[in-house]
Structure 1
Amino acid sequence: MNRFATRFAYMSAALILAACRTGPETATDSSTDTSTTGDGDGDGDTGDGDTGDGDGDGDTGDGDGDTGDGDGDTGDGDGDGDGDPFPPLAGYWAFNGDSTEGSGTNIDLMPIGDPEYLASVSPGLGTALTLDGDDAAVGADFVKLSGDDVTIVAWAYAESLEGIWNTIVKNWGPGTSGQFHIGLGEADEDMFQSVLNNNEWATAEDPFPSGEWVHTAVVLDAMAGEHRLYINGALVTTVAYAAPLDVGESTGLGVGAKPNDDGTGVAEQAEVGFWNGGIDEVGMYNAALTPEQISTIYQNGLDGIQLDGSSE
């Protein structure tokens, strides 16, 4: 073989060997995994999407980066931020310009006296029921809370703590007992308190803050056997709870005052328990919300997210 032919053979072999060893410039299998779900705030997490290094050495990228599509599920106010939804509302009064019930599961309330609907905790919550100590919102045929577990939440602003039995929300009449009183007490008139039909009382240790919006929550947890009070998302009191919550005979519901037995007006007695200040976002659940869910509701309110997930 002459020198030219030998060189040509060597060059051909080298080209064939190089073609066999050369890999694709980028990964060919970099399919996108299921996007990481957003954490409730719509900011879907973006994966790192490692691709091949394209250096022709045959190492292809693993293509396993989880590429978020940026459309993480938007929190709608009805979950705890971890994908666990809140239970359905058993009663919801947002007080956005009126006292109608918002969940479709309970009663509308009628104004007593001359309440106003003024600014709430944050603009997204719209307006709040604003009371000056001689007005309220009441309604008849309250749909009672059922089952062993219950949660009641509300925002409240106390302009003054004067008086006794000052009412945030109450199903209790002057002549018949109901399911609950939530507000301030009698002997402990400056303390946040929850009183149940079966004569179970839970009372906070510190006076109720005045001159500021405060988030309140009462949780009846049958499994834990606990009657819990929360202020601004933090647990403040726990006492024993023996389920179930008795239904009681009173059919009226009052926000800002004690209703009469059937809820057609306020109670006709010396101490009606008028609230002086504001009340907003009253919500009820036939379930024992977790501490995390209570904290989420509190933070949502500060962020302008209502119990139904909307904002004004």
Structure 2
Amino acid sequence: MDDSFELTRRKTLAALGSIGVASAGAGLGTSAYFSDQETFENNQLTAGTLDMKVTATEYYSDWSADEAEYAGMATDEASTDIRLPAGDGQSDAQDIAIDIDGDNYANFFDAISTDADGNPYNRVNGGMAAAAGGLCGTESDADGPVIIDIGDVKPGDFGGAQFAFKLCDNPGYVWLTGGLESASENGVTEPEGDDPDEGEGVELLDEVQVAYGVGPINGDTSAFEDTDAGFQPVEQYTLREFLAMLDGGGIALDGDIDAEIGGGTGEQGCFSGGNPEEPSVHEVSVVWWLPIDHGNQVQSDSVTFDLGFYTEQCRHNDGETDLVAYYPFEGSADDVSGNGYDGTLVGNTSFTSGPVGQAASFDGDADLVTTSLNVGSANESLTVAGWLKLPSQSVGQNHFAFSNYVDTSHDGFFAIGTNDGDGMFFWVRDANRSNNAQTGAYEPAFDGTWHHYAGVRDADADEVRFYIDGTLQETLAFPGDVAIRDGDSFFGMMQHYGNRNLSGDADDVRIYSRALSASEVQSLYDSA
């Protein structure tokens, strides 16, 4: 299921598409397994053999009069029922502390699921209420557009979505998926320009806070915990961080049964399926809020993003996507795959606009990013892929953009690079320097526009492959039973041989411990 959300100061949750596309083998999961993907994009539902049914309810609080009948801002910690905290980087902001009058929880949440005139916000397939008795066997095509148009979002407002889903036959692993589609400042207003927190980029991505959780329908969610200061998120993220996690292979949701019970082998729990008549419906909550602040720095900012679900069968499956590291470069070199290979910025590496969101920018002097990532063992496939925007520049010798080349050692490496400043190649050499495969240099490159490059080492097929903008350029033989590097290595961007630095921008760099197929490489290119 994919929702397109537009979060702006003028239009907050807009342009939700319609339910569409559920297909076998979709996404970057292991396509040998049955799978299903639910999306609000193409106004149709084509069910795969693993069938997920969904409903959703949207809610939004702008503190209108109908909401004020049942709740208000808390005056102290003791009177706080729900607390939505400011983020770590929001020292000048206040928490949203909500005091619900008496036992009016249900009335308050009914109020924030409708506008001031009592008209309901978006309810897909009848909303959460329709899911209580089970979803299988229902018609959930939702063949019309689903639109929410909420204006004038201000500091102190909050909202979100509740999703109910049911796996109607077999147990499955489920991921929360999506990512940033676009972001814009839409110009800078006078008060925004005068705000001391105003800077380059779309501040709304960093000011909006997000939490998510999963649980049984109408049961406790993992998103919130009861504290002395009220119910508050267990973990929270900026919208920028949250979307980066969604885009990096998705967020693995912990199911209600162990993988072994569902016939799987992974550490990630599976979600129960089984008899379509049984009401084992699961609930996912996504909550956003804009902490109380002067807020001028977000005026007119807009953000559009996707949100959805992807499921794969649990049986005979470990649920792994094999994404080792992912660097979206949203203001940092953090690895958002969850594996902890955070990068280190060296020199004057900065950030600029990328194909989507931000990108790392290198000046060609001494800028680079390094990580402790170690891949390329014997019989281990790998894929390195990312976006590059390279201006015309004098090269004259080998320069690498993405590689695990260590200092001045020629013993074992993989690299996407150039030797003439005209085209790009993929080059792999084993640790003993016995096997070497370097593709030809291919264009487009060095034209000042964004292009997607992917190098694949397929150990099972004894070959390497090189792609530009989703299109295969060349395939070369390379034995799969040799190690690219025997010891620890690192992964670096925009440097080779210690002093050969390329100038340009890099974005959305991903490293997988398997060989992506041609369709999966094409999907990475198409996603931006």
TM-score above 0.5: yes
Equivalent in the alignment of 1:299: 526
Residue 40 of structure 2 aligns with which residue?
42
Does residue 243 of the first structure (1) align with residue 477 of the second (2)? no
**C-alpha distance in 2 between matches for 1:36 and 1:118:** 34
- The reply on whether 1:91 has 2:90 as its aligned counterpart is no
For the residue of structure 2 that corresponds to 1:210, the secondary structure is coil
Q: For 1:196-228, what per-residue CA distance to the aligned partner results, in whole angstroms no more than 9, with x for missing partners? A: 122221224446242100000011123333211
Q: Does 1:148 align with 2:380?
A: yes
Q: Which amino acid aligns with 1:172?
A: Y
Structure-2 separation of matches of 1:248 and 1:138: 22
**Residue 192 (structure 1) aligned with residue 430 (structure 2):** no
Give the C-alpha shift of residue 190 in structure 1: 2.4
Residue of structure 2 in register with 1:226 after alignment:
463
The amino acid of 1:38's aligned partner reads: A
| 1:67, distance to aligned residue in structure 2 (A) | 2.6
- Counterpart CA distance in 1 for 2:515 and 2:354 is 26
- 2:465 and 2:521 map into 1 onto residues whose CA distance is 11
Q: Is the 8 A contact 1:99 1:110 kept in 2?
A: yes
Indicate the SS of the match to 1:142: coil
Give the match for residue 9 of structure 1.
none
Deviation at 1:239, TM superposition (A): 1.1
1:172, 1:283 → 2: CA distance?
A: 17
Given residue 173 of structure 1, which amino acid in structure 2 is its aligned partner?
Answer: V
Over 3 Å counting, the alpha-carbon distance change for 1:42 and 1:158 in structure 2 is: same
AA at the equivalent of 2:22: G
Taking the aligned partners of 2:471 and 2:326, their CA distance within structure 1 comes to 22
Cα distance, 1:102–1:82 mapped onto 2, change above 3 Å:
closer
Indicate the SS of the match to 1:200.
strand
1:254 aligns with 2:492: yes
Q: 1:37 to 1:279 in 2, by over 3 A?
A: closer
Partner residue of 1:62? none
**Greater strand share, 1 or 2?**
2
After TM superposition, the structure 1 = structure 2 runs for residues 113-132 of structure 1, keeping only pairs within 5 Å, are 113-122=347-356, 126-132=357-363
Q: Does residue 412 of structure 2 align to residue 174 of structure 1?
A: no
Asked if structure 2 preserves the Cα contact closer than 8 Å seen for 1:99 and 1:137, the reply is no
What percentage of aligned pairs have identical amino acids? 24
1:67 alignment counterpart? 139
2:383 is aligned with 1:159: no
- Which residue pairs with 1:57 in the alignment? none
Paired residue secondary structure (2:440): strand
Instruction: Give, in angstroms, the shift of residue 276 of structure 1.
Output: 1.0
1:297 match: secondary structure = helix
Q: Secondary structure of the residue that 1:118 maps to in structure 2?
A: strand
Which whole-Å CA distance do the structure 2 matches of 1:212 and 1:36 have between them?
Answer: 32
> d(CA) in 1 for partners of 2:458 and 2:384?
12
SS in 1 for 2:496: coil
SS state at 1:203 partner: coil
Pair 1:68–1:298, CA change in 2 (3 A): same
Q: What is the identity, as a one-letter code, of the residue corresponding to 1:157?
A: K
Distance 1:248 1:256 in 2: 23
Shift of the alpha carbon at 1:181? 1.9
| Contact 1:165/1:189 (<8 A) preserved | no
In structure 1, distance between residues paired with 2:139 and 2:402: 48
Secondary structure class of the residue paired with 1:191? coil
Distance in 2 (CA, whole Å) between partners of 1:75 and 1:108 is: 21
Q: Higher mean Cα deviation, 37-46 or 214-223?
A: 37-46
Q: 1:137 to 1:99 in 2, by over 3 A?
A: farther
CA RMSD, aligned part only? 3.2
- TM-score computed with the length of structure 2 as normaliser: 0.40
Q: 1:171 to 1:37 in 2, by over 3 A?
A: closer
What 5-or-longer segments of structure 2 have no aligned partner?
A: 1-18, 24-36, 47-136, 143-162, 166-173, 179-246, 251-308, 313-318, 431-435
- Contact 1:153–1:282 (8 Å) recurs in 2: yes
Q: Distance in 1 between matches of 2:440 and 2:404?
A: 18
Counterpart pick for 1:100 among 314, 321, 334: 334
Q: Take 1:193 and 1:222, find their aligned partners in 2: how far apart are those partners?
A: 19
Q: Tell me, what secondary structure is at the counterpart of 2:520? A: helix
CA distance in 2, matches of 1:287, 1:196: 15
C-alpha distance in 1, partners of 2:428/2:351?
29
Alpha-carbon distance change, 294 to 83 in structure 1, aligned in 2, over 3 angstroms: farther
- Alpha-carbon contact 2:427-2:437 (below 8 Å) kept: yes
Report if aligned partners of 1:161, 1:210 keep a CA contact under 8 Å in 2.
Answer: no
CA distance, structure 1, for counterparts of residue 138 and residue 20 of structure 2:
7
User: Could you tell me which amino acid in structure 2 is paired with residue 165 of structure 1?
Assistant: N
In 1, Cα distance between equivalents of 2:453 and 2:428: 16
Q: Relative contact order (C-alpha < 8 Å, sep 6+): which is higher?
A: 1
- CA shift in 2, pair 1:69/1:132, >3 Å: same
Matched, 1:135 2:371: no
Distance change (3 Å), C-alpha of 1:205 and 1:196: same
Structure 1: which amino acid aligns with 2:391?
Answer: E
1:109–1:240 CA distance, 2 compared to 1 (3 A): same
- Please tell me whether the aligned partners of residues 111 and 138 of structure 1 are also in contact (alpha carbons under 8 angstroms): yes
CA deviation map 1:259-309 (0-9, x unaligned):
7xxxxxxx2xxxx331211001111001111111111111112xxxxxxxx
Q: Is the 8 A contact 1:173 1:250 kept in 2?
A: no
Change (3 A) 1:232 1:207: closer
TM-score of the aligned structures, taking structure 1 as reference length: 0.64
Contact 2:177/2:310 (8 A) holds in 1: no
When residues 223 and 297 of structure 1 are mapped into structure 2, their CA distance, relative to the original with a 3 A threshold, is same
